Amino acid sequence: MTKEKEPTQYPANIDPKSTLPTTPSTGPENRCGGLPASQAAILFLALFSVILLTDLWSKTAAFEYLGSEVHYNSDGLPYLPQTSIREVFPGFGLEASLNLGAFNGWFSGMTILLISISALSVPICFVVSLRMKPRAPWMVASLALIGSGAAGNLYDRSVIGGVRDFIRWSIHLGETEYVWPNFNIADSAIVCGVAIIVIRELILMKRAANTSRG
């Protein structure tokens, strides 16, 4: 009589489907490029803190260097006296300006709305970075960039009443100078974060398309 083979017994830390230990270093999440929640939180908070502190310091340092100080009118609205431009090299310089709206002054005068959006975006970015699957390092970093940029401008709107900008880019075509709206480190962080997400999604879409053809 043939004796039936007993089923293989796996230790508690072994996944029968993968025959690999489901430890933090070799679990399914990490094998597909994701981070454990604790590492994702550390990466997010570290990058968030560095960008936020750099943004706030650079705004203060640039305004002091340019000799610009925020004033307030009788209605309590902030404004800046006319400031000079310090050219670093052709096409790039420093110029203090105060933005009471969003990009290029959009939604000017809607400070409460902009504060609310920024205040919501910071915790949303953090929660999404922990709950998404897999927690890809580049995605966590991009959300930290967006969150820190939102936090930097949130501070300015809440404390100063407007966002301090100081980075100036321009291009000369003939005798005409075309100037990009002044911005700051926080704005740059948001743009970089969004760009990373868009580029990554385009790469994934291209891979999926190639796989379906194959």
Catalytic amino acids? 165, 187
Nearest C-alpha neighbor of 48 from the set 127, 190, 144: 144
Nearest C-alpha neighbor of 33 from the set 214, 159, 200: 200
Nearest C-alpha neighbor of 165 from the set 177, 182, 181: 182
Contact 182, 68 (CB under 8 A): no
Side by side, which strands form the sheet with 86-89? 86-89, 92-99, 163-173, 176-179
Q: What are phi and psi of 96, to 5 degrees?
A: -75, 135
Cross-strand partners of 93: 87, 168
ω into 7 cis (within 30 of 0): no
Q: Give the Cα separation of 128 and 93 in Å (integer).
A: 36
